[in-house]
Amino acid sequence: MSLIKKKVVSRFHDKYILTDTVLGEGAQGKVFVAKRRRDYKQVAAKFIRDKPPYIRKLRKGEFVPDEIYFLDKVKNIDGCLKMLDYYVEKDGCWIVTEYDETSMTLREYIEDYGGLDESSAAYVFTQIVSAFLQMEDAGIAYKDLKCDNVLVDEFFTVTIIDFGSVTELDDLNYFYSDGYIPPEVEDELLNYMFGAVTSWSLGVILGSILIGGEPFEFGLRSRKVKKLIVRRMKKLRCSKLAWDLVSKCLELNCDERPEIREIIYGHPWLGSDTSMSFNS
């Protein structure tokens, strides 16, 4: 059933015109390009079929779906998607966010252009990590880090999207997508830690943008994902420093895998002019 053709009397439709352009469709919802009636500003409008009861309170007496609650919480964090508006309606919710037509997801980017050069990859990675550290400081855990959920614009400015799988830091449920799951979660060990899991998924992201492909496409389990990334990085003659950072993030033993704060601060690959360090 097309949402565009359906005549719905709603506050969202009073303010916005949906276009035929669908940006994406996933388990949680469908994302359209829309135009604000007032000034024709282009926005992204995500429809989610989340219905009450909602457990999280945004303002006095106003309960909202988790995705809206957490988008509101990250409103001052650089690198996180900015929510402009939201509408809780009868059959679901509309979330209106910023939209930049030059942006594409990291997955789309590597499909179209292949891997990023090391200095662009370091720039992208630094922005993702910085957003993650700020979210952690705000007590929230982003749990679906993958190339589909990170946008880059023409200057490689990062926007993390999709706050549908965010929880409070102490919530031990996980939502990671296949291919980004570390061994301890895959093996269903009970003692996994959010920080160590995050380091792993950051390592998969960094490896993917350097090798220009997402290893999960081959349906590999975590240990093989690591092998594939490491092998391809060697073949592509990535610098030793890049290789060192990815290997630390993808440490198989979660007790030995450092948290991202420890990995990042002072890692020479992120501070250096990486264009100077290509060698094997």
Type of residue found at 12 = F
Q: Which two three-digit tokens encode residue 192?
A: 């996994």
Site for ligand ADP in 66-85 (CB under 6 A): 81
Q: Which does 31 bind (CB under 5 to 8 A by kind): Mg ion, ligand ADP, none?
A: ligand ADP
Stretch that binds Mg ion, among 33-41, 156-164, 179-187, 227-235 (CB under 5 A): 156-164
Select 165 or 222, whichever has its Cβ closest to ligand ADP.
165
Question: In this chain, which of 105, 198, 222, 274 binds ligand ADP, going by CB under 6 A?
Answer: 105
Rounded to whole angstroms, how far apart are CA atoms 254 and 53? 37
User: What span, in angstroms and rounded, lies between the C-alpha atoms of 78 and 253?
Assistant: 32
Which segment (148-156, 200-208, 245-253, 255-263) binds ligand ADP by CB under 6 A? 148-156
Distance CA 35, CA 108 (A): 24
Distances (CA, A) of 195 to 16, 52, 129, 206: 39, 31, 12, 16
Minimum distance from CB of 149 to ligand ADP (Å)?
Answer: 5
Binds Mg ion (CB under 5 A): choice among 97, 103, 120, 149: 149
Q: Does 184 bind Mg ion (CB under 5 A)?
A: no
CB atoms within 10 A of CB 8: 10
In contact, 34 and 84? CB cutoff 8 Å:
no
Q: Which is nearer to ligand ADP, 146 or 232 (CB)?
A: 146
Give the nearer residue to ligand ADP in terms of CB position, either 108 or 244.
Answer: 108
Shortest spacing between CB 28 and Mg ion, in angstroms = 7
What track of x and - describes contact with ligand ADP for positions 38 through 57 (by CB under 6 A)?
------x-x-----------
Separation CA 104–CA 161 (nearest Å): 11
Q: At a CB cut-off of 8 Å and minimum separation 6, what does 62 contact?
A: none
Q: Which two tokens stand for residue 190?
A: 């009970």
Q: Pick between residue 44 and residue 93 the one whose CB is nearest to ligand ADP.
A: 44
Write down the residue that tokens 């030059």 correspond to. Answer: 102
CB of 114 to ligand ADP, least distance (A): 19
Q: Which amino acid is at 27?
A: A
With H, G, I as helix, E, B as strand and everything else as coil, classify residue 204. helix
Q: Which residue has the tokens 């609650």?
A: 69
Between 161 and 210, name the residue whose CB sits nearer to ligand ADP.
161
Which residue stretches of 74-150 are H helix?
A: 106-113, 118-137
Q: Which of 85, 111, 148, 244 binds ligand ADP (CB under 6 A)?
A: 148
Q: Which stretch binds ligand ADP (CB under 6 A): 131-139, 147-155, 225-233, 259-267?
A: 147-155
Give the tokens for residue 15.
Answer: 């303010």
Residue 83, number of CB atoms within 10 A of its CB: 19
Calculate ∠ Cα 198-137-194, nearest 5°.
25
Please select the residue that binds ligand ADP; options are 18, 31, 71, 140, rule is CB under 6 A: 31
* Number of Cβ atoms within 10 Å of the Cβ of 135: 23
204 binds ligand ADP (CB under 6 A): no
Residues that bind Mg ion (CB under 5 A): 26, 149, 162
Residues that bind ligand ADP (CB under 6 A): 23-24, 26-29, 31, 44, 46, 81, 97, 99, 103, 105, 148-149, 151, 161-162, 164
